[in-house]
Amino acid sequence: MKTQKRAPFIVFEGIDGSGKTTQKNLLCRRLSAIGIPVYPTREPTDEKIGRFIRSILSGNAKADNRVIAALFVADRLDHLLSEEYGMLGIVQSGRAVICDRYYFSSYAYHSVDMPMEWVMQANSVAAGILRPDITLFIDITPEKAMERIRKNRESTELFETLARQTAVRGNYLKSFELTKDAENVVVIDGDRPVSDIAEDVWNAVKIYFE
Ligand code: ADP
Ligand code: TYD
């Protein structure tokens, strides 16, 4: 039997307010418009573990930072392996998965409070199951991101302070350096008009759909 190559797995990363969701939606629309089946998704997920994580992030439940990091690992494995909505099965069935955040978010956010090596180790099972074909990092200064968040959101979550955003951006850059032999990360300047960023995104991903 001829083995079929799986569909592409594309991840958007960036600090809060960087414009990831906007770009993910535009890419999904562009792919759908040319007849490519896509599955848009995000982490934390909208499933049980992801919803519990969101209740912690919004201050409605409490947990130690190590527990939060471990919950993200569990949410990610469920997101990969679920029989119903698992990304692994979806890419294997030929549908492209476009995901807002994946394990680089864990490296960047949780290593504000704990060693990055611990976070990478905790996520190594996910990395072994499904590595993104490409991770698009939408890069923006923390000041600009905070300005957007203040303008557009009524409540700011735990993570959205300037100092934290600055630390998170630094951790992203550090994690890209540490994983450069294994990962394909493209950094895109996010402080430009939406359509210019979308063009760079398209130029980076189109080879996976030729
Ligand atoms: P994220 O998912 O990274 O938090 P969003 O895509 O939700 O970011 O964007 C955050 C806010 O900034 C939204 O209100 C969005 O409309 C706006 N926005 C997104 N991209 C740009 C851009 N290139 N220039 C200006 N504003 C933007
Ligand atoms: P969300 O509302 O999805 O934010 P955004 O629209 O900016 O993506 O909240 C997700 C938050 O969870 C965000 O602050 C990043 C954080 N996060 C982690 O701390 N670890 C992780 O592994 C992931 C995927 C997200």
Domain coordinates of the chain in residue numbers? Answer: 9-42+95-209
| pLDDT, average across residues 132-154 | 90
Angle between helices 103-110 and 65-81 (to 10 degrees): 180
Number of Cβ within a 10 Å radius of residue 102: 28
What the block records as the tokens of 109 is: 């956010």
- On the CB side of 195, CA atoms within 13 Å amount to 0
Domain boundaries 9-42+95-209, corresponding CATH code: 3.40.50.300
Ligand 1 pocket, mutate which of 105, 148, 195 (most atoms under 8 A from CB): 148
pLDDT given at position 159: 57
Q: Ligand 1 centroid to 44 CA: how many Å?
A: 18
**Whole-model pTM?**
0.96
Q: Is the pLDDT of residue 176 over 70?
A: yes
Of the candidates 192, 170, 172, the one whose C-alpha atom is nearest the C-alpha of residue 180 is: 172
Q: Ligand 2 centroid to 165 CA: how many Å?
A: 12
Q: How confident is the model at residue 2 (pLDDT cuts 50, 70, 90)?
A: very low
- Residue with the nearest Cα to atom 22 of ligand 2? 106
* 12 ligand 2 Cβ < 6 A: no
Angle, vertex CA 186, rays to CA 90 and CA 200, nearest 5: 90
Query: Taking a C-beta distance cutoff of 8 angstroms, is the pair 34, 210 a contact?
Result: no
Q: How confident is the model at residue 84 (pLDDT cuts 50, 70, 90)?
A: very high
What the block records as the tokens of 103 is: 């394990």
Query: Taking a C-beta distance cutoff of 8 angstroms, is the pair 176, 139 a contact?
Result: no
* 167 ligand 1 Cβ < 6 A: no
Query: Taking a C-beta distance cutoff of 8 angstroms, is the pair 9, 92 a contact?
Result: no
Ligand nearest the Cα atom of residue 102:
2
Q: How confident is the model at residue 152 (pLDDT cuts 50, 70, 90)?
A: confident
Sole residue written with tokens 């934290």: 164
| C-alpha to C-alpha distances, 180 to 35, 141, 186, nearest whole angstrom | 33, 22, 11
